[in-house]
Structure 1
Amino acid sequence: MEGNILQLKKIGIFRALQLGDLLCAMPAIQNLRLAYPKAEIVFIGLPSTRKLIERYSELFDRFIDFSGYPGLPEMPFDEKTFSRFCKNLTDEAFDVILQMHGNGTIVNEMLKACSGGSRIAGFALSSNELAENPLLMPYPNWGHESLRHIALMKHLGIAIATRAVFYPLYQNDFERLDTLGVGEHYICIHCGSRGTWRQWPPDFFAKLADYCARHAFRIVLTGTSEELEITNQVAALMKEKPLILAGKTDLGMVGALLKRSKGLISNCTGISHIAAALRVKSVVISMDGEPERWGPIDTTRHKTIDWTKTPNYALVEQVVKEMLFPEEDHQMQQISFG
């Protein structure tokens, strides 16, 4: 950052978004922590993401619940709760708050109004804002989500030591997973999504799950408790009986589950970012038309299919075969030439 604020002691980070959004910001925040190893870094986000942030204890010292605000759809607005949130931010007296939520059209004014004069760094669209505050940069409405935040770190003069998304796992995560009797040699399929418009049709998921089962893999259907209905729907459409773990795992257990798996098949949702962070092979069906922004960057280990452009089930099946069962082609060649 600029020379006059190099000795930061207390940094706030505002990103009141969901699982995948937060994971995409972690590489940038890791570089921030490397640049300011002794600073107190406080994450300000949705109450539902507290457990996720607490997994990253090496990056964050504390968590502050965001109360909601008009124009931000992630949670309802309550004036009394917001007043307490603003008082809390004022009392914190951050040296700087990084606005890593979005382009700044709503959030920047909110943070300035309720942070007690803390400096705001991050993204903006307004030319006036950008001219008045050198800690703001034009919002990069292009490229992968994680690289947008890397660009912000560069703008603030922070050296980039890593660009990799990562996901902490602990021994206890694997121990608790063991109580579910998952076994070995399985593929995870996640058919839910926060928005129904981002869900691949259940009959396609069921057909693909049976295809994987015919390759001698156990099928594990993952999801949250809110996604249990669509998970059960997919299971009912399958010919083979899957193991349904929707609603039975937490963030640590699902990470351990993925780590031991052959791979993941999912919509473009939070779990696809966990798989990418854990270097677990995956096939992602993107339903939002933004695979270049939200799909895994590593295309050797992960394949994202833009369903809005190529709604072709046979293509998905072929990609699954190439990504998750590549040894089969090799074995067939050996037999043919043997």
Structure 2
Amino acid sequence: MDKLTSALGYTPKKIAIFRAIKLGDLLCVIPAFRALRAAFPEAHIALISLPWAAEFVAGYPQYLDEFILFPGWPGLPEQPVDPVRTVDFLQQMQARQWDVMLQMQGNGTLVNAMVSLINANVTAGYYPADVPSEAWAAHSGLFQPYPINSHEVHRHVGFMTFLGIPSQGYALEFEPGDAAKKQVLTLLTDVQVTPGQYVCLHPGGISGRRWPAHRFAEVGDALAQKGYTIILTGTTAESPIHDDVREHMTHPVLSLAGQTNLNTLGAVLHFSALLVSNDTGVAHLATACHTPSVILFTSASPAEWGPLDTSRHRIIREEDAQGPQSVIAEALTLLTN
């Protein structure tokens, strides 16, 4: 019997998960959600997350039944704190009388107190590995020391295993949907680009974790010379980075900055021959869409955040890159396989 059912004395019917971070962070936890759903196929499972994640939840009806907007909490940088909304949120969550509350945000330093205020019948999650377990609500046996040296996917599947919930594998998954695919195919036809004959470059991402724009331009020109159309993906805020790449390229390039949502971006990747990207959410999306990729790591650890399938996806550390040549070589290898 799993630990949640054992602690409750019955099979949970209402499960809330707290994970209010970014795209890549949520994609990496899908294998854990898959295991949770397999264990509790009849449960109502809700994700408490940031506003953007409403679209994410809608894309996984097989695992998630509800999106709940997180109003922020002191110390968490992703969402400004509104005390009135936060109090209302906690009261509403308490009123719903959840069977299970899962804290899957991180080591719990900032949020364990908050999730305990939801007052679910049982609460499970992580606590910092370097503090005594009794400092957190770990005496119940439902809190695990946060695994520091672990891949993000393995970390959360391991949490399910800790709770007695069998793994359903480590593969990421994302299905853009027929409507998004049709929309992207129309776009590609309009700009006279053939599916499977273009390469996506994603030069944006978190500041400080970006390969230089002129290096992306060099890669783009090299792949364009091989006959591939180059498409830049990113948000409206990343348009200046796209402009920088375009200014350094000698071949034509198409920018989709701000022109895609999560589903259409997934469809763009679905029809792409390859993605070359910084270590950011789009890199994980390519993995989930089964699109080959070359991922540039500047500061994050590939052992924690890199793709698990290194035959279809290649990892290059910035310090190991000899100019753009190593990236170009890996890209051409994947394109010719």
Shift of 1:302: 0.2
Quick one: which amino acid aligns to residue 182 of structure 2?
A: E
For residues 164 and 8 of structure 1, the distance between their equivalents in structure 2, rounded to whole angstroms, comes to 26
Shift of 1:116: 2.9
Correspondences of 1:71-86 after superposition (within 5 Å): 71-86=75-90
For residues 117 and 180 of structure 1, the distance between their equivalents in structure 2, rounded to whole angstroms, comes to 47
Shift of 1:120: 1.4
Is 1:305 the equivalent of 2:334?
A: no
Shift of 1:64: 0.5
User: What is aligned with 2:154?
Assistant: 147
User: What is aligned with 2:176?
Assistant: 169
Structure 1: gaps spanning 5 or more residues: 327-338
Quick one: which amino acid aligns to residue 298 of structure 1?
A: D
User: What is aligned with 1:189?
Assistant: 201
Shift of 1:269: 0.7
For residues 103 and 131 of structure 1, the distance between their equivalents in structure 2, rounded to whole angstroms, comes to 12
User: What is aligned with 2:235?
Assistant: 224
Relative distance call for 1:73 and 1:170 in structure 2 (3 A) is same
Q: Tell me the alpha carbon deviations over residues 99-144 of structure 1, each in whole angstroms, 9 at most, x when there is no partner.
A: 110001111111112x034421111124212641211111111121
* 3-state SS of paired residue (2:85): helix
Correspondences of 1:112-127 after superposition (within 5 Å): 112-113=116-117, 115-125=118-128, 126=131, 127=133
Shift of 1:4: 3.5
Using structure 1 for the length normalisation, give the TM-score. Answer: 0.92
For residues 53 and 288 of structure 1, the distance between their equivalents in structure 2, rounded to whole angstroms, comes to 29
Is 1:90 the equivalent of 2:99?
A: no
Is 1:210 the equivalent of 2:217?
A: no
Quick one: which amino acid aligns to residue 263 of structure 1?
A: L
Correspondences of 1:1-338 after superposition (within 5 Å): 1-2=2-3, 3-5=6-8, 6-113=10-117, 115-125=118-128, 126=131, 127-128=133-134, 129=136, 131-181=138-188, 183-184=193-194, 185-193=197-205, 195-307=206-318, 309-313=319-323, 314-326=325-337
For residues 300 and 212 of structure 1, the distance between their equivalents in structure 2, rounded to whole angstroms, comes to 20
* 3-state SS of paired residue (1:142): coil
Quick one: which amino acid aligns to residue 12 of structure 1?
A: A
For residues 289 and 90 of structure 1, the distance between their equivalents in structure 2, rounded to whole angstroms, comes to 37
Quick one: which amino acid aligns to residue 261 of structure 1?
A: S
* 3-state SS of paired residue (1:98): strand
For residues 190 and 88 of structure 1, the distance between their equivalents in structure 2, rounded to whole angstroms, comes to 40
For residues 180 and 84 of structure 1, the distance between their equivalents in structure 2, rounded to whole angstroms, comes to 43
Contact persistence 2:16–2:47 (CA under 8 A): yes
For residues 290 and 204 of structure 1, the distance between their equivalents in structure 2, rounded to whole angstroms, comes to 21
Contact persistence 2:7–2:122 (CA under 8 A): no
For residues 227 and 172 of structure 2, the distance between their equivalents in structure 1, rounded to whole angstroms, comes to 31
Question: Percent of pairs identical after alignment?
Answer: 37
Number of matched residues? 323
For residues 117 and 62 of structure 1, the distance between their equivalents in structure 2, rounded to whole angstroms, comes to 17
For residues 154 and 10 of structure 1, the distance between their equivalents in structure 2, rounded to whole angstroms, comes to 20
For residues 260 and 30 of structure 2, the distance between their equivalents in structure 1, rounded to whole angstroms, comes to 22
Q: Tell me the alpha carbon deviations over residues 11-70 of structure 1, each in whole angstroms, 9 at most, x when there is no partner.
A: 000000000000000001111001100000011000121111111111111111001111
Contact persistence 1:124–1:139 (CA under 8 A): yes
Q: Tell me the alpha carbon deviations over residues 160-202 of structure 1, each in whole angstroms, 9 at most, x when there is no partner.
A: 1222110022110111112323521100111110x21111101
For residues 264 and 79 of structure 2, the distance between their equivalents in structure 1, rounded to whole angstroms, comes to 26
Structure 2: gaps spanning 5 or more residues: none
For residues 117 and 253 of structure 1, the distance between their equivalents in structure 2, rounded to whole angstroms, comes to 37
Contact persistence 1:108–1:120 (CA under 8 A): no
Quick one: which amino acid aligns to residue 290 of structure 1?
A: S
Q: Aligned-residue CA RMSD in angstroms? A: 1.4
